[in-house]
Amino acid sequence: MTKMRKFVSIMLLLACAMLSVPGANAVAPAPADTITLGGGCFWCLEAVFTELKGVTKVEAGYAGGHVVNPSYTAVSSGDTGHAEVVQISYDPQVVTLDTILHAYFTIHDPTTLNRQGADVGTQYRSIAFYRNEAQKAAIERAITAAKQDWSGTIVTEVVPFSVFYKAEDYHQEYFKLHGENPYCSLVIAPKVAKFRKKFHDYLK
């Protein structure tokens, strides 16, 4: 009887050990990289990149300024130094950073300083944040390539990433939830249509 109890105890200990091993029964997450980009209203960028195959998450937010945890109202004043940006998480085995940057320089005008269309202010500036030298090199390559598509001087800022502040919840998935909004139909929809036409082979 004592031997049986010892055997059961050993088996229980082994079972507990297996359960406590991190990831013993978990599926390994897909590898993901992140890039943070600004180019006008973040609703526009989010609407486009959400449709790109290989992109796993897109969040609208703020970056590049000096104010901690800024609000939309504060950023809109132009006094925080922040730009409206999107933070894009993607699977590099499905979509390359070069493709993401090609789309980025296609759907916004990188030649207009501190504005995109009727949206004017430093918060709407064209800005790309890099997390490492490989991302910096990719951004610089994309700028060189974009010069073939834009006649003006490209004014996109290329700066090291510091911190990203996620925007208020009502800014997330804005185009998806408020497509009937006049700004969505007049400004965002044409950008999405342009993206779908040029990048149809890369859509989800």
User: b/e for 144-180, b at 16 or more Cβ within 10 A?
Assistant: eebeeeeeeebebeeeebeebbebeeebbbbbeeeee
- The DSSP output letter for 180 is T
Asked if 41 is an active-site residue, the reply is: yes
Residues 126 and 154: their CA atoms lie apart, in Å, by: 9
Residue 106 burial by Cβ neighbours in a 10 Å radius (0-12, 13-18, 19+) = middle
- The tokens for 154 are 């490209």
Do 88 and 36 contact (CB within 8 A), yes or no?
Answer: yes
Choose, from 16, 41, 44, 184, the residue flagged as catalytic. Answer: 41
Cβ proximity of 48 and 187 under 8 Å: no
Q: How far apart are CA 46 and CA 157, in angstroms?
A: 19
Contacts of 43 (CB under 8 A, 6+ apart): 60, 171, 174, 175, 183, 184, 188
> What letter represents residue 166's amino acid?
K
Residues catalogued as catalytic: 41
